[in-house]
Amino acid sequence: MNSTNPVREVFYKIRVLLHPNYLPGTEGTFQARTVNEASLSVDQVCAYLLNRGGFTGEYENLRENVRLYMDEAAYLLCNGMAINTGYFTIYPNIGGTFENARETHDPKKHPISCGKHRREDCGHRPHNRTSTEQD
């Protein structure tokens, strides 16, 4: 642990629950759904980075720089840009059904969210751990 920012590192397995697949033609198969652990804050991720020796600067500077990056990325997403982080791409997505090609956007009928694509090699990293359980 870093003396200026003590954080106990905990490593988890990616837990997966297997649910029966009810789609036509898929009888006897299962769909996988992850069981997500508590999410980490920016402060916690920065603390992990310092503890593992991946950053040599000051903790407060690291936190502030990450926050500035995230604020700018969110601003750009809200203006329709996609953000490629090198590990995944986040992009704005609009849902719902439009009655015709000239219908204007209605936030209740056409919610805006963010989607993502992951980098292809993210699932093949040596530290990636999984365990499966049947529901």
> Rounded CA gap, 126 and 11, in Å?
13
Half-sphere exposure of 91 (CA within 13 A, CB side): 10
- Mean pLDDT (whole number) for 21-42: 86
pLDDT at 62: 94
CATH class of the domain at 14-134 = few secondary structures
Residue 14 — φ and ψ, nearest 5°?
-80, 110
Instruction: Give domain limits for the chain.
Output: 14-134
Q: How confident is the model at residue 48 (pLDDT cuts 50, 70, 90)?
A: confident
- Global pTM reads 0.64
Tokens coding 117: 């694509």
Q: How far apart are the first and last CA of the chain?
A: 37
pLDDT at 126: 47
pLDDT digits (tens, 9 = 90+) for 83-122: 998 888 999 888 888 988 999 989 999 888 888 877 666 5
